[in-house]
């Protein structure tokens, strides 16, 4: 059966009905986004048990990985006089300046040690071009440079994208919204995400999800 918000539920239960046309997209569960990391999301590592449990129900799991060069344009350290969380203007718009994080080949860029990687059929690395940041798993921040994930989803004939990971109000949000714009049904698993909440960005994310037709559910739907 189908609820008003478009999410499929098994008849007579609260269990989510997952098909082979569904994919779990796990965003950036990396050491630098967890406690003790260079850009720690509050409680970031707490998404790991939830994601591991949910992933068992999916035939299709995709992981993304922030993978920046050390001289990346989004790092405040590469802009003399600038501090983390200030902004600059680039050709593609306003860019938040971040603490140096997820540098290629470093421990901070590695997936959290407890994240189960065995079910992943694809790992998408993003943000590796020096001059452009990449929040979304599908497109870099210019909204036109593709990561290749969209082609993968379409060629595999996947229909519904379930999104979890870090951070809710940046990379999860951009990934979910780009997938929705591309024509997929999109579901964000809220308690398998954590947010940074920069200047009200979590509330803005929830408003945007409602406006563009992205559903949100809790882990309970999978139990």
Burial 75-95 (b: 16+ CB within 10 A, else e): bbeeeeeeeeeeeeeeeeeeb
Closest residue by Cα to residue 30 from 42, 51, 44, 43: 44
Angle at 30 between CA 118 and CA 113, to 5 degrees: 50
Domain count, the chain: 1
What pLDDT was estimated at residue 15? 59
Strands 93-96 and 87-90: antiparallel
Partners of 139 in beta bridges:
146
Return the pLDDT at 77.
98
8, part of any domain: no
69-78: per-residue pLDDT in tens?
Answer: 999 999 999 9
Which residues carry out catalysis?
28, 126, 171
Instruction: List the CATH number of the domain containing 205.
Output: 3.40.50.850
Provide the pLDDT for residue 12: 33
Residue 127 confidence (pLDDT) = 97
- Give the chain's residues under pLDDT 70: 1-15
- Asked whether residue 171 is assigned to any structural domain, the reply reads yes
What's the chain's Rg over C-alpha atoms?
17
For the stretch 119-130, pLDDT in tens is 999 999 999 999
Classify residue 38: in a domain, yes or no: yes
pLDDT of residue 222: 83
Query: pLDDT for 45-55, tens place per residue?
Result: 999 999 999 99
End-to-end CA distance of the chain: 17
Sign, CA dihedral 73-78-80-82, equals positive
Is 9 within a domain?
Answer: no
Report if residue 214 sits inside a domain.
yes
In a domain, 96, yes or no: no
Q: Quick one: pLDDT at residue 69?
A: 98
Considering the domain boundaries, does residue 80 fall inside one? no
Kindly report the pTM of this predicted structure: 0.92
Instruction: Give residue 186's domain range.
Output: 22-66+108-221
Q: With respect to residue 148, please indicate whether it lies within any of the assigned structural domains.
A: yes
């Amino acid at each position: 059966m189908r609820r008003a918000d478009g999410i499929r539920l098994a008849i007579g239960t609260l269990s989510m009905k997952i098909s082979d046309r569904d994919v779990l997209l796990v965003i950036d569960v990396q050491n630098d986004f967890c406690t003790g990391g260079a850009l720690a999301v509050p409680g970031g590592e707490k998404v790991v048990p939830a994601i591991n449990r949910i992933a068992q129900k999916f035939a299709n799991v995709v992981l993304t990985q922030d993978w920046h060069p050390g001289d990346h344009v989004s790092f405040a350290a590469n802009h003399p006089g600038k501090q983390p969380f200030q902004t600059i203007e680039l050709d593609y718009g306003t860019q938040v300046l971040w603490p140096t994080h997820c540098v290629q080949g470093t421990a901070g860029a590695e997936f959290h040690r407890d994240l189960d990687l065995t079910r992943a059929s694809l790992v998408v690395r993003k943000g590796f071009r020096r001059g452009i940041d990449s929040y979304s798993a599908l497109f870099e921040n210019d909204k036109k440079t593709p990561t290749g994930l969209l082609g993968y989803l379409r060629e595999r004939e996947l229909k519904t994208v379930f999104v979890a990971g870090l951070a809710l109000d940046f990379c999860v949000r951009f990934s979910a919204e780009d997938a929705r714009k591309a024509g997929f049904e999109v579901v964000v698993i809220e308690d398998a995400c954590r947010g940074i909440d920069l200047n009200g960005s979590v509330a803005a994310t929830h408003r945007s999800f409602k406006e563009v037709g992205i559903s949100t559910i809790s882990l309970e739907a999978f139990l």
